[in-house]
Amino acid sequence: MGDRLYGFDMSETFDAIVIGAGVVGASTAFHLAKLGGLKVCVVERGQVCSGGTAKSCAIVRTHYSVPSNTALTVRSLAMFGAFPDWLDDAEADAGFVQAGYLIVAPEGDFADRMRANLALQTGAGAETYVVSPGEALEHHPLLTLDDAALIAYEPQSGYADPYLTTSSFLRAARAKGVVVKTDCPVQALISTDGRVTGVRTAHGELRAPLVVSAVGPWTRALTDGIGLDIPLEVSRHTVLTFKTAAPYGRDLPVIKDLTTANKMYFRPASGGVVLVGTGDHGDPVTDADAMDENVGDDFVLLQGGQIGHRMASFAEAALSASWVGAYDITPDWNPVLGPVPGLDGLHLAFGFSGHGFKLAPAVGLALAQTALGQASDVDITPYRLGRFAEGKLLTGAYGVGSIS
Ligand SMILES: Cc1cc2nc3c(=O)[nH]c(=O)nc-3n(C[C@H](O)[C@H](O)[C@H](O)COP(=O)(O)OP(=O)(O)OC[C@H]3O[C@@H](n4cnc5c(N)ncnc54)[C@H](O)[C@@H]3O)c2cc1C
């Protein structure tokens, strides 16, 4: 008999183990149970949605310059739009607000690249088109757009609630028999003869012929142990919220401002505030668990100035909240998805580089389909681990950053 923890026999055998209860792990576990009828165990070191997903701005947009990213988001958008049906749970709620998305480019290079990207996205099934400043103002009357050379609009995009999305996936997964073990850190992957056979946790071993690792910035702690050298950098990003006397409307479109050096974005957040983030590299950190939570005055002034430039009514806005979160960044700012050559049964999902929330519904579906040997709605082979050694990087048109 193995140890018993919270009523679970810790030597139990499953069809599949998913490590990590962020949005990617939750979506993957749900889809493994839904599509394959598998007996799945999700193993989480802390609590549900306690990693990068908890810090996410959860913006959902289709604007990308790598076609497969747009294809994944188009698939995700359809799932967000039919969340209770897709999850077979009438009460499932992603908190998705279809507020629309406006992307603003300055004159020159960015505008040219954006124009080319719009054609690419339309080809990948996204609804997006150029709008005039006047039309943009009809969607978002608070904007100042004097310096905008090109503006594109996505009517179907918006933002969601990261905790609701993750917990809805897991609730629906549990209804399909998935077991979720929290406070249960995985210490090592276990393998025999080139095949993964399970995981060793702080409370005992769990066995399964299929293991999906979805532990974001913490991936290397597991892959180092099997001698796999993965390309992964971790960086710290700061999110601020600002408020004015007038509540910021929850249906105002998300804004991406490519005129700013740090590729600022902003969107409505609860409490009538505006939530402001950046799509740049951020500050490199060695440990995602030991990030400096202090937010410097210089950064607040910079973001406050940029938001005041884009919305004059925010020139005197007050800072209302701030937090930091970790990006798990790969060399091409796109995730690694799928099997690990040389170790059968192990599948990885990491390196979402600050844009994985919106991809997660479709990524979980595609990972499950791939692991089950089913035809995948979106081909994830471009995201294979081997692409870095092959020199087949998924490099975006805007250079380094989360719009890849
Ligand atoms: C500030 C910020 C803003 C963002 N904004 C957006 C956005 O607007 N739109 C967008 O699409 N994306 C955004 N992202 C990115 C997106 O949130 C992430 O890519 C996504 O949430 C990653 O989900 P995940 O499940 O891979 O990782 P995580 O949510 O980090 O989940 C990994 C889980 O694994 C657990 N874990 C780690 N090690 C172990 C172990 N050894 N054993 C067991 N469990 C373990 C962790 O506790 C954690 O719960 C943002 C990210 C940040 C930080």
pLDDT at 191 over 80: yes
Assess whether 209 and 237 both reside in one domain. Answer: no
DSSP states of 222-239:
HHGGGT-----EEEEEEE
pLDDT digits 0-9 by tens, 330-344: 999 999 999 999 999
- Tell me the CA end-to-end span of the chain in Å, nearest whole number: 49
CA–CA distance, 171 with 175 (Å, rounded to integer) = 6
* Residue 89 covered by a domain: no
pLDDT digits 0-9 by tens, 102-159: 999 999 888 888 998 898 899 889 999 999 999 999 999 999 999 999 999 999 999 9
Assess whether 255 and 385 both reside in one domain. Answer: no
Tell me the CATH number at 315: 3.30.9.10
Q: Which amino acid is at 1?
A: M
Q: How far is CA 79 from CA 129, 260, 371, 400, in A?
A: 22, 32, 20, 28
Higher-confidence residue of 358 and 8: namely 358
Residues 150 and 178 sit within 8 Å (Cβ to Cβ): no
pLDDT digits 0-9 by tens, 264-275: 999 999 999 999
351 lines ligand 1 (CB under 6 A): no
Distance from the alpha carbon of residue 320 to the mean position of ligand 1, in angstroms: 24
Assess whether 26 and 175 both reside in one domain. Answer: yes
Model confidence band, residue 1 (pLDDT cutoffs 50, 70, 90): very low
- What pLDDT is attached to residue 404? 73
Distance from the alpha carbon of residue 12 to the mean position of ligand 1, in angstroms: 27
pLDDT digits 0-9 by tens, 271-289: 999 999 999 999 999 999 9
Mean pLDDT of 309-319: 97
Assess whether 108 and 172 both reside in one domain. Answer: no
pLDDT at 8 over 70: no
Q: Which atom of ligand 1 is nearest to the CA of 323?
A: 1
* Residue 202 covered by a domain: yes
* Residue 62 covered by a domain: no
Mean pLDDT of 304-321: 97
Distance from the alpha carbon of residue 119 to the mean position of ligand 1, in angstroms: 30
User: How many separate domains does the chain show?
Assistant: 2
Q: Which atom of ligand 1 is nearest to the CA of 267?
A: 8
Q: What is the mean pLDDT of the chain?
A: 95
Protein residue whose Cα sits closest to atom 3 of ligand 1: 56
Report helix, strand or coil for 134: helix
pLDDT digits 0-9 by tens, 200-237: 999 999 999 999 999 999 999 999 999 999 999 999 99
pLDDT at 4 over 80: no
Ligand 1 pocket mutation, candidates 101, 163, 352, criterion most atoms within 8 A of CB: 352
Assess whether 266 and 217 both reside in one domain. Answer: no
pLDDT digits 0-9 by tens, 356-404: 999 999 999 999 999 999 999 999 999 999 999 999 999 888 776 667 7
- What pLDDT is attached to residue 10? 56
Residue ranges making up the domain that contains 220: 4-55+163-232+332-390
Tell me the CATH number at 11: 3.50.50.60
Assess whether 375 and 253 both reside in one domain. Answer: no
* Residue 368 covered by a domain: yes
- What pLDDT is attached to residue 6? 53
CA–CA distance, 376 with 363 (Å, rounded to integer) = 10
